[in-house]
Amino acid sequence: MPAKERALLTARAISKSSRSRNPGRQLRVGIDTGGTFTDCVIMRASGVEIVKVFSDSQDIARSALDGVAGLLGDRMPHAPAIIHGTTVATNTLLERRGARVALVTTAGFEDLIEIGRQNRAQLYNMEIHRDPPLVPRSLRWGVGERTLTDGTILQIPPPDDLQRLEAAIRDSGIQSVAICLLFSYANPSNEIMIARALKSTGASVSVSHEILSEFREYERLSATVINAYLAPRMSRYLFELERESRRRFTVPSTKSTRAPRLATPLYVMQSSGGVTSAKVAAREPVRTILSGPAGGVVATSWLARLLGLKKVISFDMGGTSTDVCLIDGAPGISRETSFAGLPLAISMLDIHTVGAGGGSVARIDAGGALRVGPESAGASPGPISYGRGGKHPTITDAHVLLGRLQSDLFLGGKYGLDLASVESSFRQFSSGAETASRRGPSSFRAVRELADGILRVGNATMEKALRVISVERGHDPREFSLVCFGGAGGLHAADLACSLDLAQVIVPSHPGAFSALGVLFSDIVKDSSRSALIPVPETGSTSFRRFSRVLQRRFDQLERRARAELRRDGFTLARPRVERRVDLRYRGQSFEIPLPYTPRFASAFHRAHEHAYGYADTSRPLEVVNISVRIIIPTPKPRIRRHGLHPRAHSRNAIVKTSPVWFGKRLHQTPFYQRDRLPAGVRIAGPAVVAEYSSTTVIPPEFVCRVDEYLNLILKRNSP
């Protein structure tokens, strides 16, 4: 391993600003694997400790455990519990590198996976290209069976058909099987029968009534197939991670214990904002597709509650992508998500992702226009400035060229940046840009204008993402604070706040590992749902009272099933929090709105419908489409020390250097501050740059920054 990379494993960022009063007996380590860096974080009595290592796309588990080793060293009093935000499911689906899957469905419905819906993303494109389905036609089997809409079994699968199916799947070398039968959400008996028959094949089996027990056959089929496609690879990864963690972090036995204490348990972050066991994640990997970004949203919600803010937007800019989520009291949950062109009707945090990150590659298109992303340099070779063989200019390189990232301050000064290579590459790129644009040398007169252009294009992509989750959904950005984190978030947050006229920017402590911190203290969550399709009678009537009793019984059944599954997976249900929700729509509509189940759910629905669509019809009858239960087992949360504000605090002692930095077309002599030296209450006028181990925050000339009582950086634009 090169010396620069080894240095990352030994460098630690330690902050005494955040103290855990009760860290607990078992040490917990949070891991967030990104496209460029893997972040690891722990909470000790002395504060937060983080370490960043380069992600290894060929051996993700090694990167994660290298980070853990960099944190723990030989100071491990107890075997750690590892809570992991992983990109294995994400990358497997994006790269189409999943298992060889067979699909078993009701005879006559074998091609549903390919037919899909009539929706067209490009309505007038007559030559639209569709990716092939995850299961080819040759690996789809129909079974003679039939379940009616009310759950009545009209026909069970013939034993002879099951024997032939078992033999065909065994002979085909199938790794995984997806079973999705018509109306099995109402009665799964036939699915269970087929799953038992195929158990002897040795293939991983995913059944739709466990993955998504709801109506809409195509979406249920898609979720089940995706789960089967991901399961073998996710299972192997988690098995290897757990085995290697036990090998590397086994605590020697003591006199009181004969057996060594192992690094267990292993938890995995889910897309819904809660963690689950590695066993469940291996069985249902479809629930982990937004595993990493979900940690950042959880951490943002926690910080917003701490600061007394209701309306915030999480802005997570890493090396490969940017993830944004609007939080109005609580983060939104969506079950109408599409990922990699495939519908995914699983409960997920409503996160919008765009291909803009520090490693996003710049290029000139056929028309001579400057483009940035979605292609990324990743961790290998990475940006040119990393000196790992990168050849194409990236957003990170543009910041280096403009003086915003300094070699002696990057990652605590443990990893130098190659400015000379960046300048050389940008000169070549600038010459190529002038030729491609056909506008002559006046197009890009200097490499720094090109660097500024790269940042502007990247900002435009991220600004569009922020508009999608705010303006396009009826929210006024001026009412929201932008909580920015990720390794590159602080470099762009002020510019985006200026473009959208956001109220303020909040940069939490340790922003480069903020998602890992969210993963660390996420609660254990179990989501369970089923379709109901029950008309809502008039409130106060005898029929409504009967309806309420029926709905209550169904909720109770769903909750009992969820609790039983949690116990089966080894969780202790000590005072869990239970949330019940209903998906409502006007009778005859095609789509529904999820709401908390309360006695006044009908009036809440009318208000939500008016907010979403601009009108409500209180005289129109309602229908309960789905019901869902969420069981939450709380985990320890960090207790942040509150510092006294010093009105006369000054920042002179925090200045580590002054260096020229480009802002727009002007060069400013700019002070660079070391963040951990900034006291609470201090104010900094831009232009300035605040450096820390995990990230860098840029304060443009028109902004002012103050440090609050929790040592967050609060950036606001100066009044005109």
Query: What confidence score (pLDDT) does residue 106 get?
Result: 97
User: 101-106 and 140-143: which strand pairing?
Assistant: parallel
- Say whether 572 sits in a helix, a strand or coil: coil
- Beta-carbon contacts of 702 under 8 Å, excluding residues fewer than 6 positions away, are 498, 686, 717, 718
pLDDT-wise least confident of 355-369, 464-478, 635-649:
635-649
Q: Identify which has the larger pLDDT, 567 or 26.
A: 567
Contact yes or no for 690/696 (Cβ under 8 A)? yes
* Tokens encoding 122: 């490009």
Which of 2, 44, 4 lies closest to 24, judged by CA? 44
pLDDT-wise least confident of 5-9, 228-232, 560-564, 709-713:
5-9
Query: What confidence score (pLDDT) does residue 236 get?
Result: 92
* Tokens encoding 221: 């089929």
* Tokens encoding 203: 């293939």
Contact yes or no for 135/161 (Cβ under 8 A)? no
Mean pLDDT of the 500-506 span: 94
- Say whether 1 sits in a helix, a strand or coil: coil
Q: 């209701």: which residue's tokens?
A: 310
Query: What confidence score (pLDDT) does residue 373 get?
Result: 82
Which of 31-35, 269-273, 364-368 is predicted most confidently? Answer: 269-273
pLDDT band at 25 (very low <50, low <70, confident <90, very high): very low
Query: What confidence score (pLDDT) does residue 426 get?
Result: 87
Which of 609, 554, 560, 563 lies closest to 581, judged by CA? 554
Distance (Å) of CA 342 to CA 219, 220, 309, 575: 9, 12, 35, 38
Backbone angles phi, psi at 166, to 5 degrees: -60, -45
Q: In what order do the strands lie in the sheet with 275-277?
A: 13-15, 47-54, 37-44, 28-33, 81-85, 266-269, 275-277, 524-536, 622-633, 577-586, 593-596
- Beta-carbon contacts of 227 under 8 Å, excluding residues fewer than 6 positions away, are 178, 206, 211, 284, 285, 286
For 266-396, list the strands marked E by DSSP.
266-269, 275-277, 311-317, 322-328, 330-331, 333-334, 337-339, 342-344, 348-349, 352-354, 360-364, 370-376
In this structure, which amino acid lies at residue 49? E
Q: How far does Cα 17 stand from its chain's mean position?
A: 27
Query: What confidence score (pLDDT) does residue 700 get?
Result: 95
Query: What confidence score (pLDDT) does residue 45 get?
Result: 67
Dump the DSSP string for 38-85: EEEEEEETTEEEEEEEE--TT-HHHHHHHHHHHHHTT--SSPPEEEEE
Query: What confidence score (pLDDT) does residue 715 get?
Result: 96
Distance (Å) of CA 506 to CA 303, 329, 350, 477, 634: 10, 17, 21, 15, 26
In angstroms, the CA 188 to CA 214 distance is: 12
* Tokens encoding 714: 């609060």
Query: What confidence score (pLDDT) does residue 250 get?
Result: 62
In angstroms, the CA 305 to CA 300 distance is: 9
pLDDT band at 444 (very low <50, low <70, confident <90, very high): very low
Q: Identify which has the larger pLDDT, 64 or 633.
A: 633
Query: What confidence score (pLDDT) does residue 191 get?
Result: 96
Which of 318, 324, 508, 492 lies closest to 399, judged by CA? 492
pLDDT band at 505 (very low <50, low <70, confident <90, very high): very high
Contact yes or no for 660/623 (Cβ under 8 A)? no
Length of the chain: 720
- Say whether 571 sits in a helix, a strand or coil: coil
Instruction: Return the H-helix or E-strand segment holding 647.
Output: none
Query: What confidence score (pLDDT) does residue 90 get?
Result: 86
Mean pLDDT of the 446-472 span: 91
Mean pLDDT of the 636-652 span: 80
DSSP at 444: -
pLDDT band at 281 (very low <50, low <70, confident <90, very high): very high
In angstroms, the CA 406 to CA 409 distance is: 5
Dump the DSSP string for 581-643: EEEEEETT-S--EEEE--TTHHHHHHHHHHHHHS---TTS-EEEEEEEEEEEE------PPPP
Secondary-structure breakdown of the chain: helix, strand, coil percentages, each rounded to the nearest 5: 35, 25, 40
Mean pLDDT of the chain: 86
Query: What confidence score (pLDDT) does residue 247 get?
Result: 74
Which residues, listed in sequence order, are joined to residue 26 by a DSSP beta bridge?
Answer: none
- Beta-carbon contacts of 498 under 8 Å, excluding residues fewer than 6 positions away, are 700, 702, 717
The pLDDT tens digits of the residues spanning 187-239 come to: 999 999 999 999 999 999 999 999 999 999 999 999 999 999 999 999 999 99
The pLDDT tens digits of the residues spanning 36-65 come to: 788 888 877 667 788 888 887 777 888 888
Mean pLDDT of the 602-615 span: 91
pLDDT band at 112 (very low <50, low <70, confident <90, very high): very high
Which residues, listed in sequence order, are joined to residue 376 by a DSSP beta bridge?
Answer: 360
Mean pLDDT of the 500-512 span: 93
Buried b (16+ CB within 10 A) or exposed e, 161-177: bbeebbeebeeeebbbb
DSSP at 375: E
Query: What confidence score (pLDDT) does residue 80 get?
Result: 74
Kindly report the pTM of this predicted structure: 0.87
Which of 479, 403, 409, 492 lies closest to 448, judged by CA? 403
Query: Does pLDDT of 19 surpass 50?
Result: no
Query: What confidence score (pLDDT) does residue 292 get?
Result: 83
pLDDT band at 79 (very low <50, low <70, confident <90, very high): low
pLDDT-wise least confident of 270-274, 280-284, 427-431, 609-613:
427-431
Query: What confidence score (pLDDT) does residue 367 get?
Result: 78
Q: How far does Cα 538 stand from its chain's mean position?
A: 41
Which of 302-316, 415-429, 651-665 is predicted most confidently? Answer: 302-316
Task: Compute the chain's Rg from CA coordinates.
Answer: 27
Q: How far does Cα 88 stand from its chain's mean position?
A: 12
Q: Identify which has the larger pLDDT, 341 or 329.
A: 329
Share of the chain above pLDDT 90, in %: 55
pLDDT band at 148 (very low <50, low <70, confident <90, very high): very high
Say if residue 540 is exposed, middle or buried (CB neighbours under 10 Å; 0-12, 13-18, 19+). Answer: exposed
